[in-house]
Amino acid sequence: MSYDSLKILIAEDNKLNQKIALWQLGKYSPNIDIAENGRIAVEKFLNGSYDLILMDLHMPELDGFEATLKIRQIEEAEKRKQTKIVAMTASSPSDFRDLCHEIGMNGYISKPFRPEEVLSQFA
């Protein structure tokens, strides 16, 4: 499968993690945007269309949980097709996994992730 047409938003506040994610996923898709926090992720979502949002859970201004809830509210209000949102975090307690699912995330990966974990969402 070719992934070069996928549009991906990486919501991540850590600069090093941004660079690593861009390096890993940039091999597969040139269409990657970065949001430095949850507020910017919601703004970028409002102004664009994404196949996948990788959402860090712990960010300033608006965390990944709140940003996901806002995105899901916008999708519902505007009758948009639901975007795949995958939580990504360095911590991996099982209660986060359950909460991610409850608020409408489609998956959960731990950092550092392998590109195959992300791209398997589209296999």
Q: What is the DSSP string of 58-113?
A: S-SSS-HHHHHHHHHHHHHHTTPPPPEEEEEES---HHHHHHHHHTT--EEEESSP
pLDDT digits (tens, 9 = 90+) for 73-87: 999 999 999 999 999
Q: What is the pLDDT of residue 62?
A: 95
Q: What is the pLDDT of residue 80?
A: 93
Q: What is the pLDDT of residue 94?
A: 66
| Pair 18, 34: CB distance under 8 Å | yes
pLDDT beneath 70: ranges in the chain: 1-2, 91-95, 122-123
User: Spelled out in words, what is the top-level CATH class assigned to the domain 7-122?
Assistant: alpha beta
pTM metric for this prediction: 0.92
Q: What is the pLDDT of residue 3?
A: 80
Q: What is the pLDDT of residue 69?
A: 97
